[in-house]
């Protein structure tokens, strides 16, 4: 008897608290959705919001495009120079790691092996589960073991080939060395200029951080000092030896720092050489008048739409409208390669109203052509007259006489 009453008592208390705790959990448990880049407290519900769905699809397609680059290398592996390796890295959004290419001799080698790894698959699956991308798409974001095996085979064969072609590699090597040497020279000069070129003790800020540059001038005993140095001299104003030791220390520090800047600038200067990557880009670019890459094959019609819209805006009665439309079509065809370019006649002339012409503009062209041909005809006649002098001149014989002669 007691138990039910207890339960009765306990139930009304418990139920609301549970409910409260549930709602509290719902309201309070904020989590970060890395697809939407948003903190939310909606739990799993969030995955079905249109904004999330939209950003998820764009998120995945972005990674897909990145992957397509990698897949390119998967299909035809290409060797990569070690100094370019640091450019050739990619961020795996599922595993949240930066896959670098240090120590790999082929483009995206580490990336490919990462994409085929079990870790990646695990992370990918958990991502898909958490953000709702659809488990059936998992294979689109990883590389299968079979592909990896094929790739490795290709790599090995490439390496063997490369060994025979290694005579080519040193050609590129020295140029890099020269590049670096030149730069080091420049830094060295800078080094020297520190001591020689700034007599006022004013130093240009090389590192824009608040590093204390130790400036020292042996010929100016009470010259410009760094903060730390001033402190020291305040403490022991008469002691020259400590000051000197400070100077030496400062000098050493300075040298070291410059060595550091050397190293960092050496890293910085390697920003050049993009050509090896660019060479693989498709047939056309901006300069050759190819449509931009974001107008893909499917969106090629967008260009046409733009053109058509512009067409309709122009006055249909404008000068040469018909001709312009026809010519535009022709040019379009020529660009597409459907028509051979420049099919027009070498003697083509535009309509032109000549100065002393009274008729239409076409007439003036006709007349000009007639005059031109006449002239050339006359020139020909002059030439022919020389030839005709060689022809036999025969006396005129009347028709009747000829007939009589024949009879």
Partner 1 sequence: MSYLLRTLTKKEEVDSMIRDTIDKLLVLRFGRSSDSVCLQLDDILSKSERELSKFASIALVDVDSEEIQVYIKYFDITLIPSTVFFFNAHHMKMDSGSADHTKWVGAFHRKQDFIDVVEEIFRGAMKGKLIVKCPLPPERIPKFQLLYKDV
- Point out which residues bind partner 1 (CB under 8 A): 314-315, 317-321, 323-324, 327-328, 331, 342, 344, 346, 348-356, 361, 365, 368, 372
Contact yes or no for 236/219 (Cβ under 8 A) = no
Q: For partner 1, which is the closer residue by CB, 26 or 335?
A: 335
Q: How far is CA 273 from CA 179, 230, 269, 276, in A?
A: 12, 47, 10, 7
At its nearest, how many Å lie between partner 1 and the CB of residue 324? Answer: 4
Q: Minimum Å distance from CB 291 to partner 1?
A: 19
CB 121 within 8 A of CB 142: yes
**Cβ atoms of residues 147 and 115 within 8 Å:** no
For residues 26 and 327, which CB has a smaller minimum distance to partner 1 in the complex? 327
Q: How far is the CB of 331 from partner 1 (least distance, A)?
A: 7
Q: How far is the CB of 382 from partner 1 (least distance, A)?
A: 19
Name the residue with tokens 């730069």.
Answer: 183
Nearer to partner 1, 168 or 318 (CB): 318
For the bound state, the minimum distance from the C-beta of residue 325 to partner 1, rounded and expressed in Å, comes to 9
Cα separation of 254 and 251, whole Å?
5
User: Nearest to residue 320, comparing CAs of 292, 350, 344, 295?
Assistant: 350
Q: For residues 186 and 323, which CB has a smaller minimum distance to partner 1 in the complex?
A: 323
Confirm if 229 and 248 have CB atoms less than 8 A apart. Answer: no
Of residues 161 and 361, the one with the C-beta less far from partner 1: 361
**Minimum CB distance to partner 1, residue 354 (Å):** 6
Of 293, 315, 312, 289, which is closest to residue 302 (Cα–Cα)? Answer: 293
Closest distance of CB 300 from partner 1, Å: 21
Under 8 Å between Cβ of 29 and 43: yes
Q: How far apart are CA 333 and CA 270, in angstroms?
A: 44
Task: Give the chain's end-to-end CA distance (angstroms, integer).
Answer: 159
Cα-Cα-Cα-Cα dihedral sign, residues 40, 41, 43, 45? negative
142: nearest Cα among 86, 52, 74, 89: 74
CB closer to partner 1, 182 vs 314: 314
> Which is nearer to partner 1, 266 or 321 (by Cβ)?
321
Whose Cβ is closer to partner 1: residue 91's or residue 352's? Answer: 352
CB of 181 to partner 1, least distance (A): 38
User: Is-contact 110 100, C-beta < 8 A?
Assistant: yes
């Amino acid at each position: 008897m007691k138990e039910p009453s207890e339960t009765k008592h306990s139930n009304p208390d418990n139920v609301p608290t549970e409910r409260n705790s549930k709602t509290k959990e719902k309201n309070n448990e904020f989590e970060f959705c890395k697809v939407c880049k948003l903190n939310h407290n909606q739990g799993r519900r969030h995955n079905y919001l249109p904004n999330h769905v939209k950003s998820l699809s764009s998120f995945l397609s972005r990674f897909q495009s990145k992957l397509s680059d990698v897949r390119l290398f998967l299909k035809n592996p290409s060797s990569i120079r070690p100094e370019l390796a640091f450019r050739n890295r990619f961020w795996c959004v599922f595993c949240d790691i930066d896959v670098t290419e240090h120590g790999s001799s082929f483009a995206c080698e580490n990336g490919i092996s990462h994409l085929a790894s079990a870790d990646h698959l695990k992370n990918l699956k958990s991502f898909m589960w958490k953000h709702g991308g659809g488990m059936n798409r998992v294979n689109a974001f990883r590389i299968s073991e079979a592909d990896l095996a094929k790739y490795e085979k290709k790599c090995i064969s490439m390496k063997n080939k490369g060994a025979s072609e290694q005579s080519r590699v040193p050609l590129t090597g020295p140029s890099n060395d020269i590049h670096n040497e030149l730069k080091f020279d420049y830094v060295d000069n800078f080094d020297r200029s520190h001591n020689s070129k700034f007599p006022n003790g004013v130093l240009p800020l090389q590192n824009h951080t608040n590093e204390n540059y130790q400036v020292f001038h042996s010929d100016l005993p009470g010259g410009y000092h760094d903060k730390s140095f001033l402190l020291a001299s305040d403490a022991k104003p008469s002691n020259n030896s400590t000051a000197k030791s400070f100077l030496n220390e400062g000098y050493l520090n300075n040298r070291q720092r410059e060595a550091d800047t050397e190293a960092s600038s050496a890293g910085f200067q390697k920003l050049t050489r993009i050509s090896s990557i660019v060479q693989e880009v498709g047939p056309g670019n901006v300069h050759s008048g190819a449509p931009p890459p974001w107008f893909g094959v499917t969106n090629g019609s967008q260009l046409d739409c733009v053109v058509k819209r512009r067409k309709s805006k122009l006055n249909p009665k404008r000068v040469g409208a018909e001709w312009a439309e026809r010519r535009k079509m022709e040019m379009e065809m020529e660009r597409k390669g459907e028509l051979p370019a420049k099919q027009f006649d070498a003697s083509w002339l535009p309509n032109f109203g000549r100065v002393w012409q009274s008729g239409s503009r076409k007439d003036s062209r006709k007349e000009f052509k007639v005059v031109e041909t006449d002239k050339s005809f006359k020139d020909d006649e002059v030439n022919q007259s020389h030839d005709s002098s060689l022809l036999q001149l025969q006396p005129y014989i009347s028709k009747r006489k000829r007939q009589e002669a024949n009879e």
